[in-house]
Amino acid sequence: MKEIVIQTEKLSKIFGDFHAVDGISFEVYKGEIFGFLGANGAGKTTAMRMLCGLSHPTSGKAMVAGFDVFKQTEKIKKNIGYMSQKFSLYDDLTILENLELFGGIYGMSRKEIREKSQSLIEKLGLENESKKLVGSLPLGWKQKLAFSVSIFHEPKIVFLDEPTGGVDPVTRRQFWDLIYDAAHRGITVFVTTHYMDEAEYCNRISMMVDGRIEALGSPSELKAQFHTDNMDEVFYQLARAAKRSDS
Amino acid sequence: MASLNSTEQQRGISVSVQNLTKTYGKNKEVLAVDSVSFEVKKGELFGLIGPDGAGKTSIFRMLTTLLFPDSGSATVDGFDIVKDYRQIRNTVGYMPGRFSLYQDLTIAENLHFFATLFGTTVEENYHLIKDIYVQIEKFKTRRAGKLSGGMKQKLALCCALIHKPTVLFLDEPTTGVDPVSRKEFWEMLKRLKEQEISIVVSTPYMDEATMCDRIALIQGGKILSLDTPDNIIGAYPDTLFAVRSNNMYDLLRTLPQYENIKAHYAFGEFAHVSFKSGNASDLEKFLKQKGLSGIETKTVVPNIEDAFIKMLQS
C-alpha cells in the first residue's frame, strides 16, 4: 500500500465567476516525482498555492502532508519545502547565512543547522564559496543550492515551480540528479516545468487544462493514451483543446 | 559613417559585430560578453541560444545602443552603435526580456503611443502587425497591466513592429511560455521574416534553435559555435545512442560504471550515450549483469541540445 502524502477531492478556487481551479481530484504518493503540467493560465499556480497553504480554497477537500488545507495551513507550511525560479535565496547573504536563515525559519536548532550546513556544503563541493555572497555565484550553482535549501529541513514534500527555467542543459541535468536523490530518500517532489523532456523524468504527470486535470498517469501511460511516442505531442493535443486561452 | 553604411548595405549585412566586449563591476571583474563577433544577413532569422547569464541580454543592449561596449565595435543597418545611436534607435525594434510597456495604458493606447513616438501611425504599418493584433484586438480597451502573459507578449511584439523596423531584436520572447504558445510565437516570427525584417532573437530553449536560419550557441560570454542548425548537428563528432531501461534512476547510476563510456546524460525517457570504444550490445550485456531490465538501445541523430552539451563538456 503506497503512502499518500497529497490528496485532493474536487478542490476548487473561484475568483468572481472565474473557475481558476475547477474541482481537481488526485493523489500523490510518498517518494514520488509528480509532474504538474499545463499551459500558461491553466490554473497550475493557483492550485499549487492552495496546496502550499497560501491560498484558501473555495470548495472541495485537500490534505497535504497529513494536514487540512482549510484549517491547518501553518502546519502545512512547516512540513513542505518550496522553490521557484523567481524566489530562491537572498543574494546579499552568504551561503552559510542563507542556510542559517532558512533553517531558523523552519525551527531547526542552531546545532542542527551547523551540522547540516557543513555536510551540505561538502556534498555540493562549495567549501571555498561558503562565505561568499550568493549573488556572486553562477546561476546554475544558485539554483542547485536553492533546491538544497528548500529541502534543508527535511520536509515531507517539496514544491518546485519551474525550477530549471533558463538553466544550461548540463546544469539542468545535475539539478535533476538532486531531485532523484531527494525522491530516493523519501521526499515527495511536486514539480512544474515547461521542458517536456523533464516531464519524462517524473514518475507520474498530471495535465491541467482550463482549471481541470484532463489527464494523469506515467509518461508511458499518457503517450499510449494519446497514441504518440513523445510528451510534446501529448501536451499539444491537450492544450490545443483548451477553451480558456491565455492569449 | 556614410561610407561604412553603404558598404555594409551592399554586402546585404544587417548587423555586424566585431570583438564586442562588455564587463561589469568597479574593477571590470565580471566579463559578461567576451570578444563576440557575428554577422546577421538581411532578412535572416538569427538566434542567440544559451542559458541565463550567457551574455545574451548584454549583447542586445549594446546593439540597441542602451549600453556602451568596453571594446570592439558593431553596426546595425550600417550605423555604428556608439556614434550613430540616434539613427539606430529610429530604425530598430526592440522587445526586452522584461515586459516594458506602460501598464496603465490600454492595448490601443500603448500601440498608438509607440507609433506616435516614431512619427508614424498605427494605420500606416497596420499590415505588419495585423496577424498578431487581431488576436488581442477584442481586449484593446484593457490596460496592459491586466493582460495575461501571452497577450502581453503579443502586444509587446506589435509595439516593437509598429514603426516598421529594419531589424527586430527579441530578447527571450518565449521564456516561461508553455510549449504550445511558444510554437505559435515562432510561427509568427516566420511570417514576419517574409516581410524582409531581419530578426535577432535569443532563447534558452535549445529546441527553438531549429526554427532559426543560423544560430550562435553562447555560454559564459563566448560564442561556442556559429552556423546553421543543420551544420552544427552535422558536425557532431560521435555516434550517439539512446538507452532505456525500466528504471531511469538505476540506469543513470549504472551508466558511469561502464568503462568504455565517453558521455552519458538523461534525455527525456532515454539516456544518451557515446562510447570511447565498445558498443551498444556490450553495454546492454553490462546493464543486464548489473540487474537492469527492459533495456533497449538504438542510434539517434543528435540535436542542438546534444551539440550544446558536447561543447560544454569538452
Q: What is the mean pLDDT of residues A44-62?
A: 95
Structural contact between residues A57 and A12, judged by C-beta atoms closer than 8 angstroms: yes
Alpha carbon distance B128, B197 (integer Å): 10
Q: Same structural domain for residues B305 and B200? A: no
pLDDT at B3: 47
Domain extent at residue B82 = 2-234
Alpha carbon distance B84, A9 (integer Å): 63
Q: Same structural domain for residues B245 and B230? A: no
pLDDT at B23: 97
List the Cα angle A34/A81/A91 in 5-degree steps.
120
pLDDT at A84: 86
CB contact under 8 A, B179 and A196: yes
Residue in B with minimal Cα distance to A178: B249
Give the confidence band of A87 by pLDDT, cuts at 50, 70, 90. Answer: low
pLDDT of residue A132 exceeding 90, the answer is yes
Alpha carbon distance B271, B280 (integer Å): 13
pLDDT at A247: 46
CB contact under 8 A, B305 and A169: yes
What is the pTM for the complete model shown?
Answer: 0.87
Q: Same structural domain for residues B263 and B307? A: yes
Q: Among residues 218-237 of chain A, which lie with CB inside 8 Å of chain B?
A: 219-220, 230-232, 235-236
- Per CB-CB distance under 8 Å, the chain B contacts of A180 are 249, 252
pLDDT at B212: 96
Measured between alpha carbons, how far is residue A21 from residues A9, A28, A50 in Å?
A: 12, 18, 10
Measured between alpha carbons, how far is residue A121 from residues A80, A117, B4 in Å?
A: 22, 6, 54
CB contact under 8 A, B204 and A167: yes
Q: Same structural domain for residues B191 and B100? A: yes
Last residue of a domain, one of B234, B255, B279: B234
Helix (H) or strand (E) holding A226: none
CATH of the domain at B68: 3.40.50.300
List the Cα angle A25/A153/A108 in 5-degree steps.
135
Q: What percent of chain B has pLDDT over 90?
A: 78
Q: What share of chain B is helix, strand, coil (3-state, %, to 5)?
A: 40, 30, 35
CB contact under 8 A, B149 and A246: yes
Q: What is the pLDDT of residues A96-130, one digit of tens each?
A: 999 999 999 999 999 999 999 999 999 888 899 99
Distance from CA of B189 to the nearest CA of A (A): 16
CB contact under 8 A, B312 and A201: no
- Reading the block at residue A170, the C-alpha cell is 548540463
Q: What is the mean pLDDT of residues B188-209?
A: 91
Q: Same structural domain for residues B50 and B87? A: yes
Q: Same structural domain for residues B97 and B163? A: yes
- Dihedral pair phi/psi, residue B71, rounded to 5°: -155, 175
Q: What is the pLDDT of residues B123-181, one digit of tens each?
A: 999 999 998 999 899 999 999 999 887 889 899 999 999 999 999 999 999 887 888 88
Q: Same structural domain for residues B167 and B284? A: no
Q: What is the pLDDT of residues B210-245, one digit of tens each?
A: 999 999 999 999 999 999 999 999 999 999 999 999
Q: Among residues 66-125 of chain B, which lie with CB inside 8 Å of chain A?
A: none
Give the confidence band of B5 by pLDDT, cuts at 50, 70, 90. Answer: low
Strands B71-76 and B13-24 come out as: antiparallel
CATH of the domain at B300: 3.30.70.2070
CB atoms within 10 A of CB B2: 7
Q: ipTM more than 0.95?
A: no
Distance from CA of A165 to the nearest CA of B (A): 7
Mean pLDDT (chain B) is: 92
Last residue of a domain, one of B187, B205, B234: B234
Q: Same structural domain for residues B131 and B53? A: yes
Domain count, chain B: 2
Q: Same structural domain for residues B75 and B189? A: yes
Distance from CA of B217 to the nearest CA of A (A): 11
- Per CB-CB distance under 8 Å, the chain A contacts of B135 are 247
Selecting from A171, A196, A246 the residue whose C-beta is nearest the C-beta of B148 gives A246
pLDDT of residue A179 exceeding 80, the answer is yes
Give the confidence band of B194 by pLDDT, cuts at 50, 70, 90. Answer: confident
- Reading the block at residue A115, the C-alpha cell is 551540522
- Reading the block at residue A41, the C-alpha cell is 493560465
Q: Same structural domain for residues B285 and B250? A: yes
| B159: alpha, beta or left? (left if phi > 0; alpha if psi -120 to 50) | alpha
Q: Same structural domain for residues B15 and B136? A: yes
3-state secondary structure of A150: helix
Which residue(s) pair with A61 in the sheet?
Answer: A9
Domains and CATH numbers, chain A: 4-240 (3.40.50.300)
Last residue of a domain, one of B184, B204, B234: B234
Give the confidence band of B10 by pLDDT, cuts at 50, 70, 90. Answer: low
Q: Same structural domain for residues B268 and B201? A: no
CB contact under 8 A, A170 and B175: no
- Dihedral pair phi/psi, residue A180, rounded to 5°: -55, -45
Residue in A with minimal Cα distance to B206: A169
pLDDT of residue A74 exceeding 50, the answer is yes
Handedness of CA B74, B79, B82, B86 (dihedral sign): negative
pLDDT of residue B2 exceeding 60, the answer is no
Q: Give, as one character, the DSSP assignment of residue B211.
A: G
pLDDT of residue B1 exceeding 50, the answer is no
